[in-house]
């Protein structure tokens, strides 16, 4: 997706655009503060007659279901804790590939199910290649679609046990590699140990003393600037064109990990 397209998706909504309307089912959750007790699904662009039966079918599975009208709102919400995204391509203004790419960039660890009527084979293949996990053609049997949703949620839960995620950043605990916006980076053991401290507490201010004790323990032989050196290593490895540093310096105190992507053009530099 081009920078211009992404900028358009993130720009303030134009006057007169259809408002994003949250619809909550089951144990539900507001879109701004999703519940942390149950699986959470964000539905984008789907009409109420599509969302309501799905909500009823999933009600007994303790699933929080939230519906928004457009990709713009979804991109902003996708950085929060959702376990599955469902995108109805006929209900959004963006072309299929742009919409999928934008959502996958903001939450690459979250599976995406696409919905469309009478989609051609090449359209379904393109959507899956763009990052979607499943493609369902309407009309569909609600029971089958609910089963597909549950299958994707099981996959997401299994993956969450071995992957830490914050914004567009992921840390694989088994392979010990980091991914930012889907691009993988190998880490040394010390880099992995340091990044895992941030990933387990995203957005939280971690002091120098906390990080030194957690990563280097009681080793009295480490250099006084060892933390700053390894922070620099991580920033260099996680740097991506057009993206601000994921690790923010809080002067005289410590560091914190950003919880949502920020474009370098929107950033005033490290704090």
Q: Taking the domains of the chain in order of start, what are their residue ranges?
A: 3-161, 165-266
Neighbour tally for 127: CB within 10 Å: 22
Model pLDDT, residue 56: 82
Question: How would you class 35 by CB atoms within 10 Å of its CB: exposed for 0-12, middle for 13-18, buried for 19 or more?
Answer: middle
Residue located via tokens 């995620």: 165
- pLDDT tens, N- to C-terminus, the chain (271 residues): 443 443 443 343 333 333 333 433 333 444 444 434 478 888 888 888 888 888 888 877 778 888 888 777 777 665 556 788 898 988 888 777 888 877 776 666 688 899 988 788 988 888 888 888 899 988 888 889 888 998 888 877 666 678 888 888 889 887 888 988 778 889 998 999 999 999 988 889 999 999 998 888 766 567 889 999 999 999 999 988 777 889 999 998 999 998 875 554 444 344 4
Cβ-contact 94, 65 below 8 angstroms? no
pLDDT of residue 8: 41
Could you give the CA distance from residue 241 to residue 60 in angstroms, rounded to a whole number? 44
CA distance 43 to 46: 7
pLDDT at 191: 93
pLDDT for the residue 35: 39
CATH architecture of residue range(s) 3-161: 3-Layer(aba) Sandwich (3.40)
Q: How far apart are CA 232 and CA 221, in angstroms?
A: 20
Which pLDDT score, from 0 to 100, does residue 262 have? 56
Q: What is the dihedral of CA 97, 77, 117, 112, to 10 degrees?
A: 70
* Alpha carbon distance 109, 171 (integer Å): 10
What topology is assigned to 165-266 in CATH? Arc Repressor Mutant, subunit A (1.10.10)
Q: Residue 236: its pLDDT value, please?
A: 92
The pair of three-digit structure tokens given for residue 96, joined into one six-digit string: 């299929």
d(CA 180, CA 126): 23
- How far is residue 225 CA from its own chain's centroid? 33
Residue in 198, 210, 203 with CA at minimum distance from that of residue 234: 198
**Residue ranges of E strands in 93-182:** 112-117, 134-138, 163-166, 169-172, 177-180
């Amino acid at each position: 997706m081009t920078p211009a397209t992404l900028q358009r998706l993130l720009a303030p909504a134009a006057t007169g655009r259809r408002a994003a309307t949250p619809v909550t089912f089951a144990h539900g959750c507001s879109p701004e503060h999703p519940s942390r007790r149950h699986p959470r699904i964000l539905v984008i662009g789907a009409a109420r007659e599509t969302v309501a039966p799905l909500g009823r079918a999933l009600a007994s599975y303790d699933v929080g279901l939230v519906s928004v009208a457009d990709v713009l709102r979804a991109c902003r919400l996708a950085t929060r804790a959702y376990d599955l995204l469902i995108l109805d391509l006929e209900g959004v203004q963006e072309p299929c590939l742009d919409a999928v790419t934008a959502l996958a960039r903001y939450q690459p660890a979250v599976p995406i199910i696409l919905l469309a009527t009478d989609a051609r084979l090449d359209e379904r293949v393109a959507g899956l290649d763009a990052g979607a996990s499943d493609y369902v053609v309407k009309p569909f049997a609600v029971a089958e679609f609910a089963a597909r949703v549950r299958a994707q949620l099981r996959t997401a839960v299994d993956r969450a046990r071995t992957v830490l995620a914050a914004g567009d950043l992921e840390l694989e605990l088994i392979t010990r590699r980091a991914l930012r916006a889907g691009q993988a980076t190998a880490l040394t053991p010390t880099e992995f140990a340091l990044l895992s401290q941030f990933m387990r507490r995203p957005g939280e201010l971690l002091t120098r003393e906390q990080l030194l004790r957690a990563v280097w323990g009681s080793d009295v032989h480490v250099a006084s600037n060892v933390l700053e050196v390894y922070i620099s290593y991580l920033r260099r490895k996680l740097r991506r064109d057009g993206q601000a540093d994921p690790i923010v310096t809080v002067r005289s105190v410590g560091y914190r990990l950003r919880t949502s992507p920020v474009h370098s053009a929107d950033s005033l530099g490290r704090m």
